[in-house]
Structures are given as structure tokens and as C-alpha cells.
Amino acid sequence: MATFPAPVKGITLTHFVVASDVDRSRRFYADVLGGEGLKDGEPTIIALANSWIVINAGDPPTDDKPTVTLEPPGDPDRVSSFLNIRVADIHAVYAEWRGRARVAAPAPSGGRPSAPEPSGTARAFPAAL
């Protein structure tokens, strides 16, 4: 099993995903994007590149945040956040990922293929700048 990608210097970002099906989301990040499992269950933690993805089913309000409820997206056509993954070679990434999930082909100008993440959040994979 992978180890946490703790930074030696600076910071590392963690993307927190609230999903209605934690295992399905885990399979997307591990099987499609090539992440490695750090922890299964709730929360599930996936090491991906130099960061990690935390996936959980949500939670009711807590004492320190009595008005905040974590819940999966209710409408897949409305997005409030997304994960932007920068890659060195968009065509190589497309060739690798297209067999693992429904991924749109890059635009002729080197545009953005995307793959719907199982929690309902759209993911775009742009070419490197």
C-alpha cells in the first residue's frame, strides 16, 4: 500500500470528494487515473501524483460547524468544484485513459478531454501550458 505523499518542503493539496458511492469513486481514481490506495472504507484515501484524494459519503453538521452538512452533489448538471489535472502530453494521457473510462478525445488544438467522476463532478484534463 502507498504511503502518504507528505511534502518535504512547502505544501501538498488534498482534494476532498463527497460521493454517494465511495467504492465507485475509489475505483475511478485508482483504476482510471492510476492512483494508489492508502486507506479503504470511509474515508477512502487515494495517493495520486504528489497529492491525495479523500473520498467520503458525507456527514451531518458537527459541533464546530452546526449549519454545515457534507453531501454528494444532488444534480450532476451543476458543479461547484472540480479537479484540474495538468499533464505533459495530452495525447498520451488520452491513449492511456480512454480504455479505462469514457473520456472525450482532445480537441485538435490540444484542448480538454474530460471524464465524469462517479460522485457527479466533471473532470477536465487540459494540456500542459
The reported pTM is: 0.69
Question: What does each of the 129 residues of the chain score in pLDDT, given as a tens digit?
Answer: 677 666 777 777 788 899 989 999 999 899 988 999 999 999 999 998 878 899 999 889 989 989 999 888 888 777 777 777 777 787 788 888 888 877 777 766 555 555 555 554 444 444 332
* CATH classification code of 14-58+82-124: 3.10.180.10
Cα→Cα distances 59→71, 93, 110, Å: 7, 34, 39
Q: Where are the chain's structural domains?
A: 14-58+82-124
Question: What is the secondary structure of 53-96 as a DSSP string?
Answer: EEEE--B--BTTBTT--B---S-TT--S---B--BS-HHHHHHH
